Amino acid sequence: MNRDGPRHWEAEMQADSTGRNIRAMVVDDAAFMRKALVEILSDSGEIDVVGVAKHGKEALDAIKTLKPDVITLDVDMPVMDGLTTMKHIMIRHPLPVVMVSGLADQGRITFEALSLGAVDFFPKPSGTISDDIHDSAAELVRTLKAAAGINPEVIKRAARLKGHAIKKQAAQKVAPEGLLIVVALQGAVSSFIRLASALFPIRATACLCIQDMSSSVLRAYARELDLITGCSAAFEPEQMLWAGCCTLASRHNLPDIQKDTRGITSLKQTDYFLDMNALFQSASRAFGENLNVCILGGQVDGNITGLQAVRMNGGMVAALNPEKCASGDFARRAIAEKLATPFDTEHSLWAGIKAFSRRMIIKKGTAK
């Protein structure tokens, strides 16, 4: 790759001599950003940048020839913007796409991109032209490597919400009888949006959704999700869990779940890093048999002993068929270790969650 600057995609198609490196394509209208992204990805030694494009139309023409494994896509571009390009990619050439944009704090754009099937939204640190993008090099490479492992055949856009958005719920702070934890890591965001559209509003159950994105992107995305659920927010320290509400948390900043003697559940910020196992264990202690963990997709490292704690305390674990997940690693392992009940389709999984919610409503009514 020419290190003097990125070339037009037609001018270069780098062969992958090792047969193992990830083939990436960079799409950005700013020459500085194209050059910086090419340098970051190429310097990783694990990613070959096979071409660049200045806007969406160039990118669509290039994909047919270059056949990349993953694409970085800017949003604000001339000729064809990133969101329009996403729509065409999902129809013509389904591929893992990571949005790399300075507009990550604009909730509508973030939500729309993820709804269309983008597997992640990586924020440019300081806006459209980020001369400090190299400071985020390691995280960008990690994001691209994870995205390249997504199964493009099951990437689907979330259907546009029909009719009017759900009316904002009144501030009724009712302690939940049960807790639903949804694991929707990279590649599973559009699946979660479909779940939210089908499930909310829910009663007697609180929802905590774990996603693989930065806290800043999560906050912008939560504002738009609120239009579907009627009660959504990004995780903040000391936040309470309320029935019918959904809290979004990044897997890089997981809360500790604690319930007091009054039955009020709060999300605590710890001084140390919590992994998924610690999250499941704290949730299991707080909710016991009234806990339902739903795995929509994603990759996990290490053991999954937290799910054992959920099952030992009477809780439920449901997993979407790994072949139907954009990234089926977590679901596959949970099913193989007999810790999760497999559901073959999203619709059957939604039905199982609704049954759990109805049971919580009945239990809450019986307890009165």
Instruction: Please state the length of the chain.
Output: 368
Average pLDDT over every residue of 306-329: 95
Task: Report pLDDT digits (tens) over 11-24.
Answer: 333 334 345 799 99
The model's confidence at residue 158, banded by pLDDT at 50, 70 and 90, is low
Question: Residue 368: pLDDT above 80?
Answer: no
Average pLDDT over every residue of 288-296: 97
pLDDT computed for residue 105 by the predictor:
63
pLDDT computed for residue 197 by the predictor:
84
Angle at 210 between CA 134 and CA 242, to 5 degrees: 130
Average pLDDT over every residue of 235-243: 90
d(CA 357, CA 360): 5
Sorted by where each starts, the structural domains of the chain and their CATH numbers stand as 9-154 (3.40.50.2300), 178-367 (3.40.50.180)
pLDDT computed for residue 203 by the predictor:
81
d(CA 39, CA 235): 34
pLDDT computed for residue 56 by the predictor:
96
d(CA 328, CA 334): 10
d(CA 131, CA 140): 15
Task: Report pLDDT digits (tens) over 79-122.
Answer: 999 999 999 999 998 999 999 988 766 778 888 888 888 988 88
pLDDT computed for residue 11 by the predictor:
30
CA distance between the termini of the chain: 69
Average pLDDT, the chain: 85
CB-based contacts of 136, cutoff 8 Å, min separation 6:
122, 125
pLDDT computed for residue 26 by the predictor:
98
Q: Which pTM value belongs to this model?
A: 0.85
